[in-house]
Amino acid sequence: MKKIQIETSINGETVEFLCEPQQTLLEVLRDELGRTGTKEGCGSGDCGACSVLMDGRLVCACLILGVETAGHEITTIEGIASEDGLHPIQQKFLDHAALQCGICTPGFVIATKALLDKHPDPDEETIRYWLAGNLCRCTGYDKIIRAVQDAARTLAHPA
Amino acid sequence: MSAFAYMAPTSVEEALAALKKVQSAGGRAQVMAGGTDLIVQMRAVDKAPRTIVDLKGVKETRRVDIGATETFIGATLPSAELNEDPRLLKLFPGLLEAADLIGSTQIQGRASIGGNLCNASPAGDTIPALIANGAVCVIANASGGRELAVEDFMIGVQKNALQPGEFLVGIKLKNPARRTADAYLRFIPRTEMDIAVAGCGVALTLDAGGVCTHARVSIGAVAPRVLLVPAAGAALIGTRVDDAALAAAGAACTAAASPISDRRGTAEYRRKIIAVLCRRAGAIARDRALGAAGA
């Protein structure tokens, strides 16, 4: 199958790549562009490990074709930290030990970013429903919820 | 996934031309909206090569038009976007609740009402809500298009009424009259991220005295198709939608159901729970209609 040339924006940078029509955005990110921060879990939209933002909206990269991203803006985990250091969400996940094996963590960080962009002061129920599409086999979720609550407080009242 | 081709038309005309082109070449055209079901199916179930015709660039499928008497919802708009529209939330709270129940936040960022309808799963959550609202499918084809009531669109398990060369542009709904409201409830064994064991949509209109003058009830996941249950609607009309009327409507739903037993629930359980869902959804729609009386 002939490869198609796609131009998109990834983490604010214009990126051109060639992909086959059946390649998912997840495959393009990891295999064509070498951006392996986005993880593959289930590959069927159930686990959220491959969460990215597309035009600011939370989506699964495994359920989007690379060709569908033409002209859109993608944000991956590599675009979350700044040159000054970790994003407060990332720092709070570390502070609260809200990760163990780490495979789900990039997806949780991205999903939390989307949550706090939309709901800066979410209650626990809102957090749990919003993150229901992100599965974690290690933490039991409680530490993740605490990290998200703390990140929300920090973002609302930067030190 | 096996190799396939991809086309991204930007108008209804281009999309129709794309479908025709693929079909005249002897290929298999596959219309795509959000892709949240389709991509999973293509990876795991039906891997046959095909040409994807992605409708998300077709501007007619991305519109919400709220007119004086009716509302059009484009087929490919993701449910997350619909649920951010305060006008739609006010007009069709039950339909928006149904869309909001499907999948995770990530899935809702892509999944559309049009896709949910075209997939034609008996457990598709938006379908009973659409049928209760009397929604009509706006279908594009080479002969100027056609319209079809949603209850006639789903013709079997994962089968819809679209003919080759046709696609769903969007859904048309009559704007609710005064003291009209809808509701949708489903049962799942947990609180989030599951497929309906049974689901029920109700839309009804009350007169100034609180008597029901119009009602439509639709049930999902309890038959090979999502069904309109005219007897359930009739049981509410002429009543104040009190407990006795709701019980009669629920019994009509049980009578109309022909469920299967599977790992989500037995047929017997589904027949019972569909009556409960009908009673509760009917009460919510009634209370909403009463609450909207002054609006």
Q: What is the pLDDT of residue B295?
A: 46
Q: Do A57 and B80 touch (CB under 8 A)?
A: yes
Per-residue model confidence as pLDDT tens digits over A105-152 = 999 999 999 999 999 999 999 999 999 999 999 999 999 999 999 999
Q: Do A133 and B2 touch (CB under 8 A)?
A: no
Residue A58: list chain B partners with CB under 8 A.
Answer: 105-106, 109
Q: Do A43 and B43 touch (CB under 8 A)?
A: yes
Is the Cβ of B42 closer than 8 Å to some Cβ of chain A? yes
What average pLDDT does range A45-51 have in this prediction? 97
Question: What element of type H or E holds B182?
Answer: strand B180-187
How far apart CA A62 and CA A39 sit, in angstroms, is 10
Task: Report the b/e string of B178-187 with b at 16+ CB within 10 A.
Answer: ebbbbbbbbb
pLDDT > 90: percent of chain A: 97
Q: What is the pLDDT of residue B143?
A: 97
**DSSP label of B192:** S
Per-residue CA distances from B1 to A32, B8, B32, B42, B253 (Å): 16, 19, 15, 6, 41
Q: What's chain B's length in residues?
A: 295
What does the radius of gyration of chain B's CA atoms come to, in whole angstroms?
19
Q: Residue A69 above 90 pLDDT?
A: yes
In B, minimum Cα distance to A23 occurs at: B1
Average pLDDT, chain A: 96
DSSP letter for each residue of chain A: ---EEEEEEETTEEEEEEE-TT-BHHHIIIIIS--TTSPPSSSSSSS-TTEEEETTEEEEGGGSBGGGGTT-EEE-GGGTSBTTB--HHHHHHHHTT--SS-SSHHHHHHHHHHHHHH-SS--HHHHHHHGGG---SSS-SHHHHHHHHHHHHHHHS--
Say which residues have a Cβ less than 8 Å from residue B7's Cβ, sequence separation at least 6: B18, B22, B51, B52, B53, B54
What average pLDDT does range B218-223 have in this prediction? 98
Per-residue model confidence as pLDDT tens digits over A76-103 = 999 999 999 999 999 999 999 999 999 9
Q: Residue B204 above 70 pLDDT?
A: yes
Per-residue model confidence as pLDDT tens digits over B137-184 = 999 999 999 999 999 999 999 999 999 999 999 999 999 999 999 999
Q: What is the pLDDT of residue A2?
A: 78
Q: What is the pTM of this model?
A: 0.96
Is the Cβ of A116 closer than 8 Å to some Cβ of chain B? no
* Identity of the amino acid at B214: H
Distance (Å) from the alpha carbon of B111 to chain A's nearest alpha carbon = 10
Is the Cβ of A67 closer than 8 Å to some Cβ of chain B? yes
Our measurement of the distance from residue A74's CA atom to the centroid of its chain's CA atoms, rounded to an integer in Å, reads 10
What average pLDDT does range B230-249 have in this prediction? 98
Q: What's chain A's length in residues?
A: 159
Is this complex's ipTM strictly greater than 0.85? yes
How far apart CA B166 and CA B201 sit, in angstroms, is 27
Confidence label for A158 from pLDDT (cuts 50, 70 and 90): confident
Q: What is the pLDDT of residue B191?
A: 82
Q: Do B106 and A1 touch (CB under 8 A)?
A: no
Reduced to 3 states (helix: H, G, I; strand: E, B; else coil), residue B234 is helix
Confidence label for B294 from pLDDT (cuts 50, 70 and 90): very low
Per-residue model confidence as pLDDT tens digits over B247-283 = 999 999 999 999 999 999 999 999 999 999 999 999 9
Per-residue CA distances from B40 to A5, A23, A115, B35 (Å): 24, 13, 25, 8
Confidence label for B293 from pLDDT (cuts 50, 70 and 90): low
Tokens of A60: 């699964």
Reduced to 3 states (helix: H, G, I; strand: E, B; else coil), residue B180 is strand
Residue B8: list chain A partners with CB under 8 A.
Answer: 67-68, 70
Q: Residue A53 above 70 pLDDT?
A: yes
Number of H helices, E strands in chain B: 12, 14
Given B6, B110, B192, which is nearest A59 (Cβ)? B110
Q: Would strands A51-54 and A73-75 be described as parallel, antiparallel, or unpaired?
A: antiparallel
Average pLDDT, chain B: 96
